[in-house]
Every structure is written in C-alpha cells, then in structure tokens.
C-alpha cells in the first residue's frame, strides 16, 4: 500500500497509508525524517540514511558520505555530491547518476 503522509507526534513518526489509516509507528530515535516516497520513508541518524517501508520494516542503509539528501520522489531518492546527483532505490541501491 502507498504512503500518503508521515506525521511526527511527540517521540513517534506515524506512517499513514493511502486510506488515511496509520500503517505503522516508528520511534524518532531511529533518526530524523528526511523524506517519503510512494512506498518508503528515509531517515538520517548519525552518518547513515535508513529506508523503511510502510510497515516500518528497514529496507536499506546507506552512508551519508554518498551525498547530501536532496529529495525522495516516487520509488527513489536523490543525493547530491559535488556536481552530480545520484539516484537510489528504496533499498539504497544506486540506479543512476547525472550532472547537477
């Protein structure tokens, strides 16, 4: 099911599905919310990015040395490093590179 929203309330993130129902709860101690794609969210904690699905199951881990978070759109997210944009899928596998 698709993610329609992520809300922070107190010390939790609530993942809201496309039906407007809470599909999962994730502690903010897991990291700072960076963005959400259609079926994943991305958090940063320390020197790592972590992706989670709509049920708050961890999908992937990626070092922040790969770039600064730019955005999450659809089924991927983008990091900017130097003069390039790197695209990763929800499991943190690099799928593309382009000039910034």
CB hemisphere CA count around 42 (13 angstroms):
29
Domain residue spans in the chain?
3-99
Per-residue pLDDT tens, the chain, 100 aa: give them.
799 999 999 999 999 999 999 999 999 999 999 999 999 999 999 999 999 999 999 999 999 999 999 999 999 999 999 999 999 999 999 999 999 9
Q: Determine the pLDDT at residue 1.
A: 76
* Full-model pTM: 0.95
């Amino acid at each position: 099911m698709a993610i329609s929203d992520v809300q922070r309330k107190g010390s939790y993130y609530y993942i809201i599905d496309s039906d407007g129902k809470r599909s999962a709860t994730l502690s903010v101690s897991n990291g700072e919310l960076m963005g959400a794609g259609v079926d994943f969210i991305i958090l940063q904690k320390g020197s790592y990015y972590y992706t989670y699905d709509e049920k708050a199951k961890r999908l992937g881990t990626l070092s922040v040395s790969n770039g600064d978070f730019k955005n999450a759109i659809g089924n991927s997210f983008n990091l900017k490093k130097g003069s390039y944009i790197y695209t990763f899928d929800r499991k943190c596998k690099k799928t593309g590179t382009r000039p910034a």
